Structure 1
Amino acid sequence: MDSEGLFPEPSNRARLCTRCRKLDFFVPDFLVEDTWADLKETHNVCDFCALRWQVCIEQNLKNTQKITFVAINSMLHLNEHADPVMSICRAPGDQVFESKQESKRIKIGFPNLTASCSQHMGLMRQWLEYCDTRHHCKPQANSSVPTRVIDIGTEHEPTVRLCETKPGDSFRYIALSHCWGTEQHFLTTACNLEEHKRGIPIQTLPRTFQHAIQTTRQLGIQYLWIDSICIIQGDHGDFDKEAEKMELVFSSAYCVLAASSARSQQDGFLNPRKARKAVNLVKEGDARGGVYVSLFSDDFKEHVVNSPLSERGWVLQERALARRTIYFTEWQTYWECGDGIRCETLTLMNNNLISFLGDPNFPSKLSDGTSDRGEKIRFYEGLYKQYSRLTLSRDSDRPIAIAGLEKRLIHDLKSSGGFGVFDDERSLLPRSLLWQRGDEFPTLKKIESQVLPRVPTWSWMAYKGGVDYLDPPFGEVAWNISEIRGNWFGKGNRTELSAKTRLFRMTTTTTQDFDITWDIPKDIKPDVVRLKCIVVGVKMQRGVSAETKTHYVLIVRLREYSAGLATEETEIYERVGVGKMLGLYIDLDNSQPRDWVKIR
């Protein structure tokens, strides 16, 4: 990418002590060893010593005998295996350093970000243009468009208006991913829909929306999608209908703008970035500058993954389905596409775990033949564990805010399923049923919703609270697929399980032999006559009797009877827990008269 003119001029040379002037950052095993006493003495006369002194204070290293800063690629780490604390970069176009082969391990870039809006926007345009011409990330020219979009007007005609699209329409649009916040929201409702179609004065919009319009104009795109404006909210709205289209809205967007640091519609995201201290280092005898050290700033995980926006339930799906995303944070702006993550400092980051979510055709990077079945299962479980801990304005959106993502996961696994459970008529169904309440949550809370179809109790989506998964070893469990059947959105649009239940002997002591996690512990009364278990898998152990083998089980409770054909009644059960126990606690002979039941 051509970075000329996008960054400020390098800062003046730093004050350096005799020792720091002799440092050579290009040697393969570069490191700096300090003591607290030495840095305390020199930090007032040397800028690089002052930078290391600041890190030591922040890390509370006063009582540390020896402090070592180790260079790993373009980062300085406190000791070899600690997190990075400083970044190293070299100036683009500096022939003094470009001619050194050993300099190649140090990234090209600048530690100081531009304060110019035009230069900032110019960099984003370059990101888009580079991706358009070099990658295969952008949506197809005939991609679908949302039901409504915002025509953003121009700087000379600043009024924006809501437009309804027609079948066959095809054009580029940008989508905004943002936090609604707790303040008063700017919404389109059935009452103001026609007014918004006539025009919305831009000064009446919250700052986050104004900044989205400004950025979209600068990127040369005419249309913008914002959920609270383009979906009719409240009574007589169409949220339920439009929520089903979220997969297409974000995957078809030309680009997504993510207001990562904004906690509400009022915060905006084109705000001055946090300043950071940087040092311009010069080797003794060099006539020009060229190497810069600054406090570590290319921290995508902290700035984006752990941002206020990423705490929002909807954003996991939005990020995974978006083809290209620009993240605006308090520290700098990041770009993510199928090629990786680019920082405003010009750093190109590659992280396999992160890149799965940045896949423009998610989850193709898991389906390219390099990931085995076990890796996929672990990854998808990780996604659900992460999602279950995110916040939603409406708890009842829990199955909706990830529905588009789940649809792709089901397709990738060549399975059926729903509500967080996969069924490939092999091990996926029993394994994905083995979710459990997260350790940090003393209880789960049932989500009451009038939305149909009702979320079944065997799904973690029916509850509020984070979940984890039991971890049966791959290849060591005989899955009981003959005793569990799924009915995926069948008759009456009802999703339910049919399973064979067994009596078991309850114990109040949690041991290695009997370990159950209750979904809602206070609901488990001393009278446990109505509790039964479903054996979903048995650990394979040669030469061991069934009574001493580990059985993975769901615990269910009788909820009601439902009239079936003629006068037959079907028992309806609900899930109340999950765990494992030895076979000696279970009625393996299953002599009870009615053993197949519905789980809802």
Structure 2
Amino acid sequence: METHLCAACSAINPRQPYHGPERLKSGNGFITRIFYSHSDSLDHITISAEVGQCDMCYLFLQAMRNPDAVDPQWEYSSELFDEFSDPENANTAAFGVSVKDMTYFEEDMVSGDIDNPEGPVLISITFRNRRIDEAESRCIDVAVHWTDPVTVTRIISHDLILVSSLPEKLIQILQMRDITSDNSTGSPFVTGLIKEWMRTCDEEHEICRKRRAASKRRLPTRVISVENNETNPKLICPPANTFEDYVCLSHCWGRSQHFKTETTSLEDRMASIAFSAMPRTFQDVVTITRNIGMKHLWIDSLCIVQDSEEDWNRESAKMGRIYHDASITIFAEGADSDDGGCFVSHNSREKRLCRSPMFDEIISLFTSRAQSPSYIQAQGQWRLPLHQRGWVLQEQILSFRSLNYDLWEASWRCPGFQGCECVPEGFLRVSFTHQDSKMEKVLSDQWAQIVEKFAPRKLTCSKDKLPALGGIAKEFSQYWQTDYLAGLWRHQLREHLAWSVPVRTHSSCVRQTSRPPEFRAPSWSWASIDTNRLRMQSMRGYLS
């Protein structure tokens, strides 16, 4: 992964800033910011990036095309699918970057005005405390300041980050990256990254090792054998109580739903499933499963006989446990049908880590870290696309490890961390244990959030409203030894019977509420209606 830098990028002198360092109040702490002059105008960066092929100018240019894309001071907010974290319980001394007091000789300082419209393009480096979910390598932000030629005003973009102190194994993988072949999320580089995430999870995450040890990993009634690369996959029925690793697929079928197992095709599926006849998503997931060294794959539309009510009722009741016990669940997030596929093409220059040796000294000057290789890259924002399919929510929550393919990149999620191509070393995760004194409130709030997220989702069969949450309910029942009543829990009835459909919604969201023609749940349950907006109102303060 050789980085090409132009003369302007290479000439940045860590000891000759344009402005700063300045120490600013931020939240409960402080940040240190320093500015460096880069070039005279936007034109220089454009030519350098597109003609001169400077990798760092290319990242600067991409950031400048998205001004104010990211606020570097944004506070961490827990996603629904995160284990709940509590900053009050964290050892705050362990979180943050130690910033040295730096004194420059007056002759080394360039007293420049960063807001001067006639000023040069500036690069600012901000040292800040890291968030509770963040690795220390990620708490140095990079911003580009330049003058808009039309409005003649200064503009800033916060879409970059300076990364350092990456694990040696990860650096080796990054250095081997070939940008000519790394043109999709199915490239050898991405496969190598996934294998490293798996290795780290297996060998270094204590919470993941405990989860794997506790999981039975019993093979489902039917699985697809993909062991032999030279032959077509086929459906098999493993002996009862066979314990082996397997992969699950979470996907959108699409309207056609043409490739599935039915009574008439079951025997043929057991003999062979022609790889060339599979829809693109299935082909991609077979390839992924083989690449990561797994032999068994479970896909609902192929492993459940779709026109057999008896088989569907029996196997669908096990789906929560099937996803829970899988070694990895692959989410085809970017495809709206089985023909969409997992792999997407991308520009590897946009996501690569750009080696920036001139910033190695800046890091060692301003922090207590030893000098180590540093890289500039586009700011990674962890995000899970909003799924519309009802069953997917259960699959997301119950899956032990998730490998996600969206429209931008491949990403990983396990109990220990979550990572992606643009944040390969991953974000840390902090979670409660079930013995925690606050766990009851956490679970109560989490169930309410799950219902609110689930209610607007689409289901092919309206009667699946409650079954699609059945696996999650079974997991909650391990903590709450109480009755589960049509989407509500007996010990929370007073609170959660106060569910409602908001009268007012966002101007772009028209409220849509109806009751299905067939009985699905009692009228006092939220599951009795179809709506695109639901609120699980907490009445704890009023009813205590």
Asked if residue 335 in structure 1 is aligned to residue 412 in structure 2, the reply is yes
Q: TM-score normalised to the size of structure 1?
A: 0.62
2:255 match: secondary structure: coil
Give yes or no for contact 1:87–1:295 (8 Å, CA) kept in 2.
yes
Change beyond 3 A, Cα 1:181–1:209: same
Within the candidate set 207, 217, 221, 1:147 is matched to 221
Greater share of strand: 1
Q: TM-score normalised to the size of structure 2?
A: 0.68
Q: How far 1:372 moved relative to its partner?
A: 4.8
Match of 1:59, as an amino acid? P
Per the alignment, residue 494 of structure 2 pairs with 430
Matches of 1:370 and 1:14, distance apart in 2: 56
Within the candidate set 294, 299, 302, 1:229 is matched to 302
Offset from partner CA, 1:437-481 (integer Å, 9 cap, x none)? 14435341112447xxx411211112211343364564x3236xx
Matches of 2:289 and 2:453, distance apart in 1: 31
Give yes or no for contact 2:513–2:530 (8 Å, CA) kept in 1.
yes
RMSD, matched Cα: 3.9
Offset from partner CA, 1:363-393 (integer Å, 9 cap, x none)? xx36240535433322221111111122222
Structure 1 segment 182-201 matched on structure 2, within 5 A: 182-201=255-274
Within the candidate set 35, 43, 48, 2:45 is matched to 43
Per the alignment, residue 16 of structure 1 pairs with 8
Within the candidate set 143, 146, 160, 2:233 is matched to 160
Which is further off, 179-188 or 51-60? 51-60
Per the alignment, residue 513 of structure 2 pairs with 444
Per the alignment, residue 306 of structure 1 pairs with 385
Give yes or no for contact 1:189–1:237 (8 Å, CA) kept in 2.
no
Structure 1 segment 54-73 matched on structure 2, within 5 A: 54-59=62-67, 71=126, 72=128, 73=139
Change beyond 3 A, Cα 1:52–1:122: closer
Match of 2:226, as an amino acid? I
Per the alignment, residue 458 of structure 1 pairs with 524
Give yes or no for contact 1:190–1:237 (8 Å, CA) kept in 2.
no
Per the alignment, residue 540 of structure 1 pairs with none
2:247 match: secondary structure: strand
Matches of 1:118 and 1:40, distance apart in 2: 35
Match of 2:33, as an amino acid? F
Match of 2:390, as an amino acid? G
Matches of 2:45 and 2:245, distance apart in 1: 53
Per the alignment, residue 535 of structure 2 pairs with 469
Change beyond 3 A, Cα 1:447–1:33: farther
Structure 1 segment 469-488 matched on structure 2, within 5 A: 469=535, 471-472=537-538, 474=540, 476-478=541-543
Q: How far 1:150 moved relative to its partner?
A: 0.8
Give yes or no for contact 1:138–1:324 (8 Å, CA) kept in 2.
no
Match of 1:446, as an amino acid? R
Asked if residue 419 in structure 1 is aligned to residue 486 in structure 2, the reply is yes
Within the candidate set 386, 393, 404, 2:471 is matched to 404
Matches of 1:325 and 1:468, distance apart in 2: 27
1:171 match: secondary structure: coil
Per the alignment, residue 88 of structure 1 pairs with 162
Give yes or no for contact 1:208–1:268 (8 Å, CA) kept in 2.
yes
Offset from partner CA, 1:389-420 (integer Å, 9 cap, x none)? 22222232221111110222233233322322
2:159 match: secondary structure: strand
Match of 2:408, as an amino acid? W
Give yes or no for contact 2:251–2:335 (8 Å, CA) kept in 1.
yes
Per the alignment, residue 565 of structure 1 pairs with none
Give yes or no for contact 1:91–1:109 (8 Å, CA) kept in 2.
no
Change beyond 3 A, Cα 1:330–1:349: same
Match of 1:145, as an amino acid? L
Change beyond 3 A, Cα 1:370–1:83: farther
- The gaps in structure 2 that reach 5 residues or longer are 22-30, 50-55, 70-114, 129-138, 146-155, 362-370
2:436 match: secondary structure: coil
Per the alignment, residue 356 of structure 2 pairs with 281
Matches of 2:395 and 2:263, distance apart in 1: 26
Matches of 2:414 and 2:442, distance apart in 1: 22
Matches of 1:77 and 1:430, distance apart in 2: 50
Greater share of helix: 2
2:413 match: secondary structure: strand
Offset from partner CA, 1:286-328 (integer Å, 9 cap, x none)? 8x994332222x3221xxx125xx3322121112111111112
1:469 match: secondary structure: coil
**Count of matched residue positions in the alignment of Structure 1 and Structure 2:** 428
Within the candidate set 281, 292, 298, 2:375 is matched to 292
Match of 2:485, as an amino acid? G
Matches of 1:341 and 1:179, distance apart in 2: 23
Per the alignment, residue 75 of structure 2 pairs with none
Give yes or no for contact 1:17–1:45 (8 Å, CA) kept in 2.
no
Q: How far 1:343 moved relative to its partner?
A: 2.5
Match of 1:386, as an amino acid? K
Matches of 1:267 and 1:289, distance apart in 2: 42
Q: Which protein has the larger Cα radius of gyration, Structure 1 or Structure 2?
A: 1
Matches of 1:15 and 1:241, distance apart in 2: 67
Matches of 2:316 and 2:327, distance apart in 1: 19
Matches of 2:256 and 2:324, distance apart in 1: 29
Q: Percent identical across equivalent pairs?
A: 20
Q: How far 1:188 moved relative to its partner?
A: 0.3
Per the alignment, residue 529 of structure 1 pairs with none
Match of 1:350, as an amino acid? L
Match of 1:147, as an amino acid? T
Structure 1 segment 350-365 matched on structure 2, within 5 A: 350=428, 365=432
Matches of 1:314 and 1:259, distance apart in 2: 14
Structure 1 segment 244-283 matched on structure 2, within 5 A: 244-277=317-350, 279-283=354-358
Change beyond 3 A, Cα 1:372–1:92: closer
Change beyond 3 A, Cα 1:470–1:245: closer
Per the alignment, residue 426 of structure 2 pairs with 348
1:238 match: secondary structure: helix
Q: How far 1:332 moved relative to its partner?
A: 2.6
Within the candidate set 122, 126, 135, 2:196 is matched to 126
Q: How far 1:280 moved relative to its partner?
A: 4.0
Matches of 2:360 and 2:123, distance apart in 1: 26
Q: How far 1:245 moved relative to its partner?
A: 0.4
1:125 match: secondary structure: helix
Match of 2:381, as an amino acid? D
Match of 1:341, as an amino acid? Q
2:201 match: secondary structure: helix
Matches of 2:360 and 2:536, distance apart in 1: 62
Matches of 1:199 and 1:406, distance apart in 2: 36
Matches of 1:245 and 1:131, distance apart in 2: 26
Structure 1 segment 314-329 matched on structure 2, within 5 A: 314-329=391-406
Match of 2:436, as an amino acid? G
Give yes or no for contact 1:109–1:347 (8 Å, CA) kept in 2.
no
Per the alignment, residue 290 of structure 2 pairs with 217
1:129 match: secondary structure: helix
Give yes or no for contact 2:512–2:532 (8 Å, CA) kept in 1.
no
